[in-house]
């Protein structure tokens, strides 16, 4: 177990911090503690929110005083164990056509790769969902191949379309809605990462969760247009590979 710190974050939250870097081993400890706290269901704990290297724990201090919460967390840490590939596996379609990938040629020039080489490397990785943030449903996916790990653009775009697939530093992401961005756009996905659930009292929910794994599946512009039309009509269904395999068994 790596060393950790318990930090006070206001009067209703604690942050349990593991290390000072961004890597999958630290993320595994963050997610393992989140699972453990969710399993024991401590009265007074309202929510746990994983980040790159820390877990934010929101609690009700009237129900669960801070000293008692810290003591329980320290006791639970002794039994926390990490697991490999604990999350779901997703294959998410991405179109790398020039019309949807305005920065792909520039990335190729800056990295010394061909356009096809950039696409091949970007789609060859099984990405790890470190955390959600910035926008509802936006997943930070690591780790981008080293040769594609570029700094942000010098001049951010004021507006990029929903579904834009981008890279910046060691992360890649799919933007769930139109937004400003300084990342490099390499493609677009028709999949809605922030979607409305069906049923009584339907609410919006994120498709991905911290600990999930993502593989980008290249599709043609024609396939993108077809899938985007289905998504707009609410008829595009994307399920984890694990769930599809279990259903077929």
* Mean pLDDT rounded to a whole number for the chain: 90
Is 220 in a helix, a strand, or coil?
Answer: coil
- pLDDT of 90 over the 90 cut: yes
- Identify the band that residue 92 occupies on the pLDDT scale cut at 50, 70 and 90: very high
- pLDDT of 248 over the 50 cut: no
Strands 194-196, 171-174: pairing kind:
unpaired
Q: Cα 76 vs. chain centroid, distance in angstroms? A: 26
CA pair distance 206, 234, nearest whole angstrom:
15
- CATH no. for 4-77: 3.30.1360.40
Lookup result for tokens 């507006």? 159
Domain 4-77 and domain 89-248 have a common topology: no
**For the chain, which residues make up each domain, given as ranges?**
4-77, 89-248
135 DSSP assignment:
S
Q: Give me the architecture of the 89-248 domain, per CATH.
A: Beta Barrel (2.40)
pLDDT digits (tens, 9 = 90+) for 131-171: 999 888 999 999 999 999 999 999 999 999 999 999 999 99
pLDDT digits (tens, 9 = 90+) for 161-170: 999 999 999 9
pLDDT digits (tens, 9 = 90+) for 108-120: 999 999 999 999 9
Residue 200 confidence (pLDDT):
46
CA pair distance 4, 9, nearest whole angstrom:
15
């Amino acid at each position: 177990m790596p060393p950790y710190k318990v930090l006070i974050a206001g009067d209703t939250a604690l942050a349990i911090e593991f290390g000072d870097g961004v890597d999958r081993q630290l993320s595994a400890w963050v997610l393992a503690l989140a699972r453990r706290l969710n399993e024991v269901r401590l009265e007074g704990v309202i929510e746990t929110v994983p980040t790159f290297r820390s877990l934010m724990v929101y609690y009700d201090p009237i129900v669960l005083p801070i000293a008692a919460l810290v003591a329980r967390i320290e006791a639970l840490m002794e039994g926390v164990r990490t697991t490999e590939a604990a999350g779901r596996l997703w294959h998410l379609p991405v179109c790398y056509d020039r019309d949807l990938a305005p920065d792909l040629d520039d990335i190729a020039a800056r990295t010394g790769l061909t356009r096809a080489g950039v696409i091949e490397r970007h789609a060859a990785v099984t990405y790890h969902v470190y955390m959600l943030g910035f926008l509802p449903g936006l997943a930070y996916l690591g780790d981008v191949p080293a040769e594609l790990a570029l700094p942000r653009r010098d001049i951010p775009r004021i507006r990029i379309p929903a579904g834009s697939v981008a890279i910046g530093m060691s992360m890649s992401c799919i933007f769930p809605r139109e937004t400003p961005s300084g990342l490099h756009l390499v493609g677009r996905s028709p999949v809605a990462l922030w979607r409305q659930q069906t049923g009584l009292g339907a609410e919006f929910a994120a498709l991905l969760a911290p600990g999930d794994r993502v593989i980008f599946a290249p599709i043609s512009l024609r396939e993108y247009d077809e899938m985007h039309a289905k998504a707009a009509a609410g008829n595009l269904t994307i399920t984890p590979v694990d769930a599809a395999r279990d259903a077929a068994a």
